[in-house]
Amino acid sequence: MKSVRIDGVVLLDKPSGMSSQGAVTAVKRALNADKAGHTGTLDPMATGLLPICLGEATKYSQDLLDADKTYIAQVKFGQCTDTGDAEGLVTQEFPLPIFTDEAALRFALDALLPEFTGPISQVPPMYSALKRDGKPLYEYARAGVELERAAREITIHAIRWTNIQWPEATLEVSCSKGTYIRVLAEDLGKTLGCGAHLVGLRRTEVGHLNLEQSFTIENIQQGLQESSSYILPVDALLQTLPHLTIDEQQAKRLGLGQRVPLSIPSIEALVRIYRATAAPHNFIGTADWRSGVLHPKRLISQTS
């Protein structure tokens, strides 16, 4: 069957054991879409929210790559692995700290968190897709090669323990782009003096999108609902941006790549633009609004 153009966003609840690219391929096939991509990798072990862009929505995937994320992370203390998570081999084991009671345990774990709140430095793991000389770091790691990695500045907006079943404990973490939760787990273990690694990870939010809006791959593959019910419009990715409505003539000029002056008070911002029509698909794209003039940035193709 010939694939068709579908423009929009699918919020997938990715299962464990599936790569992000594998999830994209599965959704693309299930919907018979001709173009698809994701908005930020989830490790195969991880589950949870993976926004998948279809068609023209792929133009805006970078906006979610740059968005903050929220995770539920399960950390196991007392062991380190070569990957920083449960998929790796245990490389070190440490005696666990002894606590007199649950209150002392909770106090010790809570005392770790201020050091990992706000702007912090984090060294990316060897088992990551970051590239050196055109080759991902995980390929070097699998060959037994350890490379120097520069620390990167990230931000942990909020972090708290939600459940403690010692020697495991569950964290809720809200963080900036580029944060490695595996590294966070390892660093928490180092600070406590007994090592740690990640044994579970679930992403619950990407920017303004959340897991409650998502569907499983089984839902989509089985077609229990009309395929369109799984697909949000392209501008679902951009709802945090201010919006403007312009007339047909202005829309035509913007579509030709021309700047459009507007006789309304200006703000300096990236904005989403809509055509003044009652049609359901009146989203045009994004533009930079500077000094009362719209400068086209990313416009969706209006041809089918």
| Residues with active-site annotation | 43
User: Using CA of residue 134, residue 140, residue 146, residue 150, what is the dihedral sign?
Assistant: positive
Of 119, 6, 60, nearest to 238 by C-alpha is 60
Question: Rounded distance, CA 4 to CA 206, Å?
Answer: 27
* Angstrom distance (rounded) from CA 61 to CA 53: 7
DSSP characters over 253-294: HHHTT--EE-SS---SEEEEEEESSSSS--EEEEEEEETTEE
Interstrand relation of 47-54 and 36-38 (parallel, antiparallel or unpaired): antiparallel
Please list the residues that pair with 76 across neighbouring strands: 168, 197
The conformation of residue 40, written as its DSSP 8-state character, comes to: S
Backbone angles phi, psi at 211, to 5 degrees: -65, -30
CB–CB of 198/82 below 8 Å?
Answer: no
Distance CA 126, CA 147 (A): 7
Q: Fill in the amino acid letter for 173.
A: V
